[in-house]
């Protein structure tokens, strides 16, 4: 059996090492690239992202963004992680005026001040740590725990995009799935066995909606 | 609901674990990568390395260790010890650390923390505070640096607030009075800091029993419990700690069956 190949989009926003290693542990061959030509020749595309929406939007404003948009439009398999999920939407409160890829209608919002936890204490932002998801989607396991690091979350216009929600001062969208596109706010590469199972699903032959 | 975290801490020196770890069947008790993997497989939510290598010349060994560990484990990795300048932070993050812990360099130059948070994001910057109680009737603690050898005279609570204001993403709070005693965390210190700042607090120093972990996360109010010897000496596994906490209603990520 030939090994799955994944190409990881390098937006120059941080270390992609652990993402690549997570795919290698799952048996795939992983390459990291910022070259649109290489991205076009990929089998599966993964776009991780850490840092700020503004830098991400700038990095996607040119040829890399075109390649990613064309990829998704052609119905080829895409996994977005964290900012790689947020970038699929129109815009973000983090950087007003900056444009995302606009693959899906919707925006990215910050956890509102004044949210409180179960004990009535103010919620800490960023939301960092292990949290649970609620999901009926086959790729994600209802009640499973994943590792999150973020201050902003996606708000899709089309609610049927939502594949999982997580509670942090109220439910927010923690994963989406549609056709060839899978994206999660949490980090599968940091989420131990539960994360590895998401990666295996992405490497398998599944349609995600 | 966000889970409370259990974090085993490994002291490393020149790329080796300083105190041997009593895992059954461990091939090399001195190999931090193998130990970190055991802990993450056993349900640790995060791993912390504290580098106590005296000389700064051997940093390459640490970067290599961080690189190999980050390639192996699939939980977040925090690295501290000897972080003095921007290059230390960038090289550790580049090697694969998720968070870098700053201690003495923060006290020497608080702006360093603001600069690092600005450059790499608050989520990547932990400030380690070693606090020691000041003798007297009122509860007061001052901040120690240089591995607990130097009293800065800074008030620990005010210092924690300043660090949070400057963009630290988390405080790793160690009670110097309790560290190594196995008498439990300093709960008053922990609760005072937790109530004073809007960022997560990791309790450290003094864990000897399962109940100490429970107390640190409940009475102490810490977001995470860091411990070293109870895990290394083989007294308890991370799974046992979590089982104990779950039975008492503390929200933790259950250890996976695998």
Confidence of residue A2 (pLDDT cuts 50, 70, 90): low
Average pLDDT over residues B85-100: 94
Evaluate if residue A86 carries a pLDDT over 90.
Answer: yes
**Structural domain total, chain B:** 1
Q: What residue in A sits closest to B72 (Cα-Cα)?
A: A21
Q: Give the C-alpha separation, A108 to A155, whole Å.
A: 6
In a domain, B255, yes or no: no
Query: In chain A, what residues touch B71 (CB-CB under 8 Å)?
Result: 17-18, 21
Determine, for residues A17 and B45 on separate chains, whether the beta-carbon distance falls below 8 Å: no
How large is the average pLDDT for residues A26-50?
A: 94
- Assess whether B130 carries a catalytic annotation: yes
Query: Which phi-psi region, left, alpha or beta, contains residue B61 (left: φ > 0; alpha: ψ -120 to 50)?
Result: alpha
Local confidence band at B21 (pLDDT 50, 70, 90 cut-offs): low
Domain hosting residue B242, numbered range: 5-247
DSSP letters for A27-82? T-EEEEE--HHHHHT-SEEEE---S-HHHHHHHHSSHHHHHHHHHHHTT--EEEET
In angstroms, rounded to a whole number, what is the distance separating the alpha carbons of residues A182 and A194? 16
The residue with greater pLDDT, A16 or A65, is A65
Asked if the Cβ–Cβ distance from A129 to B200 is below 8 Å, we say: yes
Q: Name every residue in A having a CB less than 8 A away from some CB of B.
A: 14-15, 17-18, 21-22, 25, 50-52, 117-118, 122, 124, 126-132, 145, 147, 149, 167-168, 189-196
- Domains of chain A, CATH where assigned: 5-203 (3.40.50.880)
Tokens representing B105? 């360099």
Residue B253 counted as domain residue: no
CA distance B102 to B115: 12
For A18, the closest of B2, B3, B96 (CB atoms) is B96
Record the tokens describing residue B103, joined without a space: 């201690």
- Checking if the pLDDT of A42 tops 70, the result is yes
- Map residue B32 onto helix, strand or coil: helix
pLDDT of residue B22: 61
Is the pLDDT at B257 greater than 60? The verdict is: no
What is the C-alpha to C-alpha distance for residues B228 and A184, in angstroms, rounded to an integer? 33
Chain A hits for B223, Cβ within 8 Å: 124, 129
The reply to whether residue B45 touches residue A21, judged by beta carbons under 8 angstroms, is no
DSSP code of residue B47: E
Q: Does residue B133 belong to any structural domain of this protein? A: yes
Contact B226, B173 (CB under 8 A): no
Question: Residue B83: is its pLDDT beyond 60?
Answer: yes
Q: Closest Cα partner for A174 from A37, A165, A97?
A: A165
Q: Answer yes or no: is B256 within a domain.
A: no
Which tokens sit at A69? 């948009």
- For the stretch A10-24, pLDDT in tens is 998 877 888 999 999
ipTM over 0.95: no
For residue A141 the two structure tokens come to: 């396991």
pLDDT tens for B165-224 read 999 999 999 999 999 889 999 999 999 999 999 999 999 999 999 999 999 999 999 999
The residue with greater pLDDT, A198 or A115, is A198
- For range A190-203, the mean pLDDT: 94
The confidence band for B33, taking pLDDT boundaries of 50, 70 and 90, is very high
> What per-residue confidence (pLDDT) applies to B24?
61
On whether residue B163 sits in a domain, the answer given is yes
**Is B100 within a domain?**
yes
- The pLDDT-based confidence of A50 (bands split at 50, 70, 90) is confident
> CATH code at B224?
3.20.20.70
Residue in B closest to A15 by C-alpha: B94
Interface touch B198/A122, C-beta < 8 Å:
yes
A13, A113, A130, A172, best to mutate vs chain B, most B CBs in 10 Å: A130
Instruction: Identify the DSSP state of B146.
Output: T
């Amino acid at each position: 059996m030939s090994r799955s190949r994944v190409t990881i989009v390098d937006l120059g926003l941080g270390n992609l090492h652990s993402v690549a290693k997570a795919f290698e542990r799952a048996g795939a061959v992983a390459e990291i690239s910022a070259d649109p030509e290489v991205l076009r020749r990929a089998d599966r595309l993964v776009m991780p992202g850490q840092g700020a929406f503004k830098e991400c939007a700038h990095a996607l404003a040119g040829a890399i963004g075109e390649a990613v948009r064309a990829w998704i439009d052609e119905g080829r398999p895409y996994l977005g992680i964290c900012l790689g999920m947020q970038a699929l939407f129109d815009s973000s409160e983090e950087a007003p005026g900056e444009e995302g890829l606009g693959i899906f209608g919707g925006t990215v919002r910050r956890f509102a001040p004044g949210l409180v936890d179960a004990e009535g204490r103010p919620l800490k932002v960023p939301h960092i740590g292990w949290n649970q998801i609620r999901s009926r989607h086959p790729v994600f396991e209802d009640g499973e725990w994943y590792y999150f690091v973020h201050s902003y979350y996606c708000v899709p216009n089309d609610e049927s995009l939502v594949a999982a929600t997580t509670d942090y001062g109220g439910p927010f969208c923690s994963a989406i799935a549609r056709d060839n596109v899978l994206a999660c706010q949490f980090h599968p590469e940091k989420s131990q066995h539960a994360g590895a199972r998401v990666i295996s699903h992405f490497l398998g032959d599944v349609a995600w909606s | 609901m966000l889970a409370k975290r259990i974090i085993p801490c490994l002291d490393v020196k020149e790329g080796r674990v300083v105190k041997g770890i009593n895992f059954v069947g461990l091939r090399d008790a001195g190999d931090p990568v193998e130990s970190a993997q055991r802990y993450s497989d056993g349900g640790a939510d995060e791993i912390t390395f504290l580098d106590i290598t005296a000389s700064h010349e051997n940093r390459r060994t640490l970067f290599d260790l961080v690189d190999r560990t980050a390639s192996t484990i699939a939980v977040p990795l925090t690295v501290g010890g000897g972080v003095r300048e921007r290059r230390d932070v960038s090289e550790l993050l580049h090697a694969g650390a998720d968070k870098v812990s700053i201690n003495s360099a923060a006290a020497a130059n608080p702006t360093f923390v603001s600069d690092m948070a600005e450059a790499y994001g608050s989520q990547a910057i932990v400030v380690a505070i070693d606090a020691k109680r000041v003798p007297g009737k009122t509860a007061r603690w001052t901040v120690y640096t240089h591995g607990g050898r130097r009293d800065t005279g800074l008030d620990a609570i005010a210092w924690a607030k300043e660090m949070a204001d400057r963009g630290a993403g988390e405080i790793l709070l160690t009670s110097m009075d309790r560290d190594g005693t196995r008498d439990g965390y300093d709960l008053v210190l922990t609760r005072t800091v937790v109530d004073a700042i809007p960022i997560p607090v990791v309790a450290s120093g003094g864990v000897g029993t399962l109940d100490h972990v429970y107390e640190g996360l409940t009475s102490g109010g810490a977001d995470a419990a860091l411990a070293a010897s109870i895990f290394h000496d083989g007294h308890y596994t991370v799974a046992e700690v979590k089982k104990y906490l779950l039975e008492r209603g503390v929200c933790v990520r259950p250890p996976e069956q695998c």
